[in-house]
Structure 1
Amino acid sequence: MKNKFDDLEESKNLNVQCQMSNVQKIDPNVIVLGWVSFFTDMASAMINPILPIFVVVTLHEGVDKLGIIVAIATFISYALRLLSGYISDKYGIVKPLVVSGYALSALSKPLIGFSHSYKSVAALKGLERLGKALRSAPKDLMIASYSKKKASGKTFGFHKTLDIAGEMSGTIIVFLLLYYFGEEEKILRSIFLATIIPGLIGLFLVIFFVKDIKKEPKQTKFKLTQKDKKAIKRLFFYFGFIFFMFNEAFFTMQAKSVGIAVMLIPVLFMVSTGTQTVTSYIFGIWIDRFGVNKVMALGYISAILALLLLWLQKPIFTWISYAFLGLFTVSTLNANRAFIASFCDNKGSVYGVFYAGVALFGALGAYICGLIWEHFGMNNAIIFSLCGALFLLILFLGKNYGSFRS
């Protein structure tokens, strides 16, 4: 006779088999796209922790100039995704946009190493984000097309796991480089130049190992359906949070202001990306199981906690705030992408609208926060963001109260 320990062992084996089965259900093209994102985000993560320091300290520009760079990059990165999503739906062009986007990003990042003013940094960062704009909506359309039925949350969660793992790898690399070689201007510029290597690896993978999807161009006049319009209306709470939520660049400057060494700032990014890597697939499963609203609420609460911890202005709380920043980023992004994949008719176009909204509100928020910081101080900039985010959270919880009880 089997005892309770035999039953427990069988249960463990069954759980392992189910997990393996879940991974095997991920389409091979999604897996390769995950590795493409891994190497591309590795390159991005090599420069993101040091870019604010490079602009403010090395180039001797103000935090308001940093806000302008963030605003320009954010707007270009997201606003033009509206156009690429429309092109994908209207003309059936998908992979060429994805490839050209990765190519532009891979080639523009290293050039920042030659910059000597905030204007050239803004121009090159904008060019790099243009590549992101070209590829993002078509790439999400490809992932949605390769998703299994009723598993979009899991698929996007899997892809995001590799995406964020690449970011974490990049932050580890830049930390080691700063640790062993120092923080001199020459080292910072060399790090920008080194991003060409992972960028070209990602470009090679997407060109030769990802299949294009079959998407027939629309012969009739293109327009959004009622379901598409309803979905877009639901996205505006997220846009509001993006407006008030501090950009990573401001998190970096806050960390420096409370006394965290420049060399350790990449480790802060590891906290954020590590949190996202560990939780991304779990959030994907929760989205499929519990619904989008509950996961979004958890993400919004994480955003509030991240800002509150920054407001306390203690190094230990800044470290913890990066973990909550990671939770906010990965949970809300996965939830929105999965929602569009499962609900909308013209997915490419709605992804484009989604990213365009993030662009507009993110760019405006970064510009305003930069101005408040420069002219009224860091503390007032944090209070502005925290109060706005709290107000939106209360509205969201009140509007969706019924779905939380079910």
Structure 2
Amino acid sequence: MKTIDRNVLMLGWVSFFTDMASAMINPILPIFVVVVLHEGMDKLGIIVAVATFISYALRLLSGYLSDRYGIVKPLVVGGYALSALSKPLIGATHGYQSIALLKAFERVGKGLRSAPKDLMISEYSHANASGKTFGFHKMLDIAGELSGILLLFGLLWVFGQSESVMRNIFYATLIPGIIGLVLVAFFVQDIPRPKRVLKQAFTLTEKDKKTIASLLFYFLFLLFVFSDAFFTMQAKEVGIATTVIPLLFAVSAGVQTLTSYGFGVFIDRFGARRVLVFAYACGAAAQGLLYLQDPHLTWIAYAFLGLFTVASVNANRAFISQNADNRGSVYGVFYAGVALFGAVGAYVSGMIWEYFGMSSALLFSLTGTVLLSLLFIGSRHVRA
């Protein structure tokens, strides 16, 4: 890890505290919506869909602005500011509409910062070490998530799971959010502005287009794999107590923390495709374990979810860094695709669950992920 640039280290700590704040609310937000506010699973699906969809255009725009005009750090700082301020306000909400709006603002923040942040990490990566660098950053990112999950578990264990406790936890996310914002504003150096800025027309190159085409398979997979919110509700449906649910997220985050850097090393040595084969198999396995609806297997499903998440994200981010010319724009397309396809998948899963039951939603997810995993393994012409 001696090759990791100081700015990547600081960006890792920024993500650590920001994800700590997110992890303090993500495991309980679905329960807050469905159980406390008495909204249906279709409303939860709408919240997830709106939150992920609303930011897709901004991801494209922020990536373009980074490449075309050299605006990088201001977008990153602004994005973290929006996220830090929107999460605590969820504590004052009383309906799914206001939650959807605040989650949309939080996703706008993520949309503004995601592509420029990855561009910064890519720029500060040493030669032939992009997988390792992104793996290191993701390790700190998920370590923050794990810390937030354990903090949430402790708070629920000590103070209970009443409505007032949940609302106070939402308010408390302001503290780690502000710490992350201060770090990125004052301790991360902006990358140099490219010399070509404003002097020539901007276009995606053939390498950029081929790189984007290679991401389409991942986007399709996200149509079927369950989001964290639906993992949470499956756990509650099979009888896992609300107080214990944060520990399920701790399993996923712990697996990601322990394996992220190793996946990065593997990507640099053997290529992104082999890691993606493993990632898709893990994603399908997670859905299969959920489909069996056994609380013991749900714990294992969270571990496989962690493996799918960290392996696929690291592989795709490193692949873009290694193959794209206009990396900011391609990262923008990547995160836009993740948001758009994730939103559609969440909406469809929520509707199936609400009107046809959890088993039907699980079957839809399992069928899609298994078929796509087999297709990817059998299609050696798929680039990655």
TM over 0.5: yes
Q: Which residue of 1 aligns with 2:312?
A: 332
The match for 1:209 among 176, 187, 197 is 187
Q: Provide the rounded CA distance (Å) in 1 between the counterparts of 2:294 and 2:241.
A: 13
Partner of 2:4: 26
Deviates most, 141-150 or 384-393: 384-393
Is structure 2 residue 21 aligned with structure 1 residue 40?
no
Q: Distance in 1 between matches of 2:218 and 2:58?
A: 18
Q: 1:292 aligns with which of 263, 269, 272?
A: 272
CA 1:130–1:402: 2 relative to 1, 3 Å: closer
Match of 1:72 among 50, 58, 72: 50
Aligned with 2:78: secondary structure? helix
Q: Which amino acid aligns with 1:135?
A: R
For residues 58-93 of structure 1, give each alpha carbon's deviation from its aligned partner in whole angstroms, at most 9, with x where no partner exists: 100000000000001111244421110001001100
Is structure 2 residue 127 aligned with structure 1 residue 149?
Answer: yes
**Residues 258 and 314 in structure 1, CA contact (< 8 A), matched pair in contact too:** yes
Secondary structure in 2 aligned to 1:244?
coil
Q: 1:370 aligns with which of 350, 361, 379?
A: 350
Q: How far apart, CA to CA, are the structure 2 residues paired with 1:289 and 1:201?
A: 36
In structure 1, distance between residues paired with 2:232 and 2:75: 32
Deviation, 1:402, is: 9.6
Q: 1:389: how far off?
A: 1.2
Q: Number of matched residues?
A: 382
- Do the aligned partners of 1:89 and 1:218 also contact (CA within 8 Å) in 2? no
- Is 1:83 the counterpart of 2:61 in the alignment? yes
The equivalent position to 2:168 in structure 1, one of 180, 184, 190, is: 190
The alignment status of 1:163 with 2:135, answered yes or no, reads no
Is residue 2:240 matched to residue 1:260?
yes
Q: Please, which of 168, 173, 177 is the counterpart of residue 199 of structure 1?
A: 177
User: Which of 236, 240, 260 in structure 1 is aligned with 2:220?
Assistant: 240
* CA distance, structure 1, for counterparts of residue 113 and residue 383 of structure 2: 34
Q: After alignment, is 212-221 or 350-359 more displaced?
A: 212-221
1:55 to 10, 17, 33: 33
Question: Partners of 1:253 and 1:340 in 2: how far apart?
Answer: 34
- Deviation of the 1:215 alpha carbon: 2.3
8 Å contact 2:376–2:382 — kept in the other structure? no
CA-CA distance at 1:228 after TM superposition = 0.3
| Structure 2 residue 74 is matched with structure 1 residue 96 | yes
C-alpha root-mean-square deviation of aligned residues, in Å? 1.2
Matched residue type, 1:88: S
Offset of 1:349 from its aligned partner?
0.2
Please say if residues 153 and 285 of structure 1, whose CA atoms lie closer than 8 Å, have aligned partners that are also in contact: yes
Task: Map Cα deviations across residues 306-365 of structure 1 (whole Å, 9 max, x no partner).
Answer: 000000100000000000000000000000000000110000000000111111111000
Q: TM-score, normalised by structure 2?
A: 0.98
- Per mean C-alpha deviation after superposition, the further-off stretch among 383-392 and 36-45 is 383-392
Contact 1:243-1:364 at 8 Å conserved across structures: yes
| Secondary structure in 1 matching 2:243 | helix
Q: Which moved more, 1:353-362 or 1:116-125?
A: 353-362
Correspondence 1:135 to 2:113:
yes
Indicate the SS of the match to 1:42. helix
Kindly provide the CA deviation profile for residues 194-242 of structure 1, in whole angstroms up to 9, marking residues without a partner as x: 0000000000000110000012224211110000000111101100111
Q: Runs of at least 4 residues of structure 1 off by over 4 A?
A: 401-404
Equivalent-residue separation in structure 1 for 2:127 and 2:193 (angstroms): 18
Specify the SS of the correspondent of 2:193: coil
Q: Which has the larger radius of gyration?
A: 1
Pair 340,403 (structure 1): closer, same or farther in 2 beyond 3 Å:
closer
Letter in 1 for 2:105: L
TM-score if structure 1 supplies the norm length? 0.93
Partner Cα distance (1:363, 1:79) in 2 = 13
Alpha-carbon separation, structure 2, partners of 1:215 and 1:306: 43
Percent same amino acid at aligned positions?
A: 66
Distance 1:260 1:78 in 2: 34
Residues 1:261 and 1:402: Cα distance change in structure 2 (over 3 Å): closer
Q: Is the contact between residue 232 and residue 350 of structure 1 (CA under 8 Å) also seen in structure 2? A: yes
Quote the Cα distance in structure 1 between the aligned partners of 2:3 and 2:264. Answer: 14
Unpaired stretches in structure 1, ≥5 consecutive residues: 1-22
Residue 155 of structure 1 aligns with an amino acid whose one-letter code is T
CA displacement at 1:394 relative to structure 2: 1.7
Structure 2 residue ranges without an equivalent (≥5): none
Residue number in structure 1 paired with 2:203: 223
- In 2: Cα distance, 1:131 partner to 1:233 partner: 26
> Given that residues 79 and 360 in structure 1 are in contact (C-alpha distance below 8 angstroms), is that contact kept between their aligned partners in structure 2?
no
1:140-190 Cα shifts (integer Å, max 9, x gaps): 000000000000000000000000000000000000000000000000000
What CA distance in whole angstroms lies between the structure 2 residues aligned with 1:41 and 1:147? Answer: 22
Q: Report what 1:399 is aligned to.
A: 379
Shift of 1:280: 0.2
Residue by residue, what CA displacement relative to the aligned partner does 1:254-293 show, whole Å, maximum 9, x if unpaired? Answer: 0000000000010000000000000000000000011100
What SS class does the counterpart of residue 258 from structure 2 fall into?
helix
1:223 aligned partner, one-letter code = T
* Residue identity opposite 2:311 in structure 1: S
Alpha-carbon offset, residue 403 of structure 1: 8.9
- Letter in structure 2 aligned against 1:152: S
